[in-house]
A and B are shown apart, each in its own frame.
Chain A
């Protein structure tokens, strides 16, 4: 359950590798007919959290994902994958859209966290995330979330309240960045590697805690073998999606109720406590 010393920090570096494939790469390789759908219908369009409609495995799906850039210029345009309230409101809008038409939702998580900023606070960053959580918790269609790089805190979870939670082997998922954790609890951001270790943020550890359904191996790190990683991820997603669709056939209201109840139980049972 515990990786070798410093393994966690090595994973952090891999998860953040600039050449690691991003959500648009997954969409390009795994789907057909993709049409990107923009905007929150209220204020703007967030290029750090993208969404759209596509064919995956012969079926129409709604795709969501944090999009980082591969170079500085794109990273600035994508705000380093840190979504603003508009991103979460767009995601929430597209989830309701998916429910309306009975389309499953596939979400690809890859963000350092939601943007901390003056404008984001003014426009309700916390509320936007909370409302996305609420909608996703009660969504009447199957949902699958795959962490492809960094799963950073509430900004990641906002599109992660899913029926299946999958992680790539070299991705991480954490309550806070190791740097932030180190700055707060060690008073020293340079202790990030230690923090990463004790926080249990690697895919294998999180699977051992029962928080992740399946870890997709990376025989070579995703940035060295992008096509192979994406293909393997696509096969795992397809298997889970077929399984969910078989258990909860679209268009059957009773199945939708069972799906929501099962998602509730999943999250309801998360936690470590004792009753004395």
Chain B
């Protein structure tokens, strides 16, 4: 289950790794206008920021960076970040065709302004406290390595202790290959933490956003109590190009979209971004009445 960002380009149109926004929507010179990759319309960029980066004409949901997502979901000034000091290492002395992992981490940090691919913390959503874990796809395809796993588990443990719900927002190419089996084991580690959270009767809501694949989809993100996806997000286990290459079959229309997953019974709901915060707020109120089973294992 590699970091499959290479495989994620629809119909094979993958290009290596400029920031999500420029990849999706080449900015017109002065950034005043942004072209919608779905309907082709030119959108006044300030208007796009006002709509949380949803195209006003066709409702295409642009990808959000982690900080943009947090700002769009949480009550103003309520976010307090956790574990910023937890930083990645290069335990394998991993070197690939383009150089060493340690260098790649340093360059990525410089380019993205993030130290890792997961931002965690606590915030209020519609006045309710929540533990947040938000993936940043611009950081090595939000691949899950040791830091991702460690920060997520710490967030889950704090949430269990304080009995506040966990909201994970995922977009990922999968497990991070540069940390080898340590990355794979983060799947077990995060799921084990959620097992405890579940026994404590504290809910986990997962928001799956475009694109979400591999080790993330096959671990913490799909054992949530409620699974919500954004419209048209691509979500799956194996990347579409891998499946096409291996099976030599044409993929069905809409394969691995949020709508496809909903039809196949894999997610609870598709929620458009403009009503997401309000929907989450309503769920948090409902689950605040949860009564933990007596004698439940913790």
Residues of chain A having any CB pair with chain B under 8 Å? 113-114, 116-118, 120-127, 129-131, 133-134, 137-138, 153-154, 157, 160-161, 173-176, 180-181, 183-188, 191, 195, 198-201, 206, 209, 211, 257, 260, 263-264, 267-268, 270-276
Contacts of B175 in A (CB 8 A): 153-154, 175-176
Instruction: Evaluate contact between B192 and A137: CB separation under 8 angstroms.
Output: yes
Interface status of B73 (Cβ within 8 A of chain A): no
Closest residue of chain B to A260 (Cβ to Cβ) is B297
Interface status of B117 (Cβ within 8 A of chain A): no
Instruction: Evaluate contact between A184 and B3: CB separation under 8 angstroms.
Output: yes
Instruction: Evaluate contact between A129 and B218: CB separation under 8 angstroms.
Output: yes
The 3 closest A-B pairs by CB, nearest first: A116-B238, A271-B146, A186-B97
Closest residue of chain A to B89 (Cβ to Cβ) is A272
Contacts of A211 in B (CB 8 A): 181-182, 185
Interface status of B201 (Cβ within 8 A of chain A): no
Given contacts A126-B222, A130-B191, A273-B147, 19 further A-B contacts (CB under 8 A): A114-B218, A117-B243, A118-B251, A120-B237, A121-B255, A130-B219, A134-B195, A137-B192, A154-B1, A154-B218, A175-B183, A198-B95, A209-B182, A260-B297, A268-B193, A270-B149, A270-B188, A270-B189, A274-B89
A88: shortest Cβ distance to chain B, in Å?
9
Contacts of B146 in A (CB 8 A): 270-273
Partner of B242, one of A116, A195, A199, A263: A116
A248: shortest Cβ distance to chain B, in Å?
14
| Contact stretch, chosen from B21-29, B50-58, B80-88 | B80-88
Can you pick out 5 interface pairs between chain A and chain B where the beta carbons lie within 8 Å of each other?
Answer: A134-B195, A200-B180, A268-B192, A272-B182, A274-B88
Which residues of chain B (243-297) have a CB below 8 Å from chain A?
Answer: 243, 246-247, 249, 251-252, 255-256, 260, 264-266, 297
Contacts of A185 in B (CB 8 A): 96-98, 177-178
Partner of A270, one of B182, B219, B243: B182
Q: How far is the CA of A118 from the CA of B256 in the complex (A)?
A: 9
A161: shortest Cβ distance to chain B, in Å?
5
Instruction: Evaluate contact between B192 and A267: CB separation under 8 angstroms.
Output: yes
How many chain B residues touch the partner (CB < 8 A)? 74
Closest residue of chain B to A123 (Cβ to Cβ) is B264
Interface status of B121 (Cβ within 8 A of chain A): no
Contacts of B220 in A (CB 8 A): 130
Instruction: Evaluate contact between B177 and A184: CB separation under 8 angstroms.
Output: yes
Contacts of B95 in A (CB 8 A): 198
Interface status of B125 (Cβ within 8 A of chain A): no
Contacts of B237 in A (CB 8 A): 114, 116, 120-121, 125-126, 129, 154
Interface status of B126 (Cβ within 8 A of chain A): no
Contacts of A276 in B (CB 8 A): 85, 87
Q: How far is the CA of A183 from the CA of B5 in the complex (A)?
A: 12
Interface status of B155 (Cβ within 8 A of chain A): no
Instruction: Evaluate contact between A184 and B297: CB separation under 8 angstroms.
Output: no
B41: shortest Cβ distance to chain A, in Å?
32
Contacts of B196 in A (CB 8 A): 264
Binary flags per residue of B181-215, CB closer than 8 Å to A gives 1, else 0 = 11111111101111110010000000000000011
Residues of chain B having any CB pair with chain A under 8 Å? 1-4, 6-7, 85-89, 91-98, 145-147, 149-150, 153, 175-189, 191-196, 199, 214-215, 217-223, 236-239, 242-243, 246-247, 249, 251-252, 255-256, 260, 264-266, 297
Most-contacted residue by chain B among A125, A126, A188, A275 (CB, 10 A): A126
Instruction: Evaluate contact between B189 and A175: CB separation under 8 angstroms.
Output: no
Q: How far is the CA of A41 from the CA of B169 in the complex (A)?
A: 32
B94: shortest Cβ distance to chain A, in Å?
5
Partner of A187, one of B97, B147, B177: B97
Q: How far is the CA of A160 from the CA of B181 in the complex (A)?
A: 12
Contacts of B217 in A (CB 8 A): 126, 130
Q: How far is the CA of A186 from the CA of B95 in the complex (A)?
A: 10
Partner of A198, one of B86, B92, B147, B187: B92
Closest residue of chain A to B115 (Cβ to Cβ) is A276
Closest residue of chain B to A275 (Cβ to Cβ) is B85
Q: A180-B2, A267-B188, A272-B146 are in contact. Are A130 and B222 (CB under 8 A)?
A: yes
Instruction: Evaluate contact between B193 and A153: CB separation under 8 angstroms.
Output: no
Instruction: Evaluate contact between B85 and A130: CB separation under 8 angstroms.
Output: no
A194: shortest Cβ distance to chain B, in Å?
8
Instruction: Evaluate contact between A121 and B256: CB separation under 8 angstroms.
Output: yes
Instruction: Evaluate contact between A124 and B97: CB separation under 8 angstroms.
Output: no
A2: shortest Cβ distance to chain B, in Å?
9
Q: A130-B222, A175-B1 are in contact. Are A118 and B249 (CB under 8 A)?
A: yes
Q: How far is the CA of A260 from the CA of B298 in the complex (A)?
A: 10
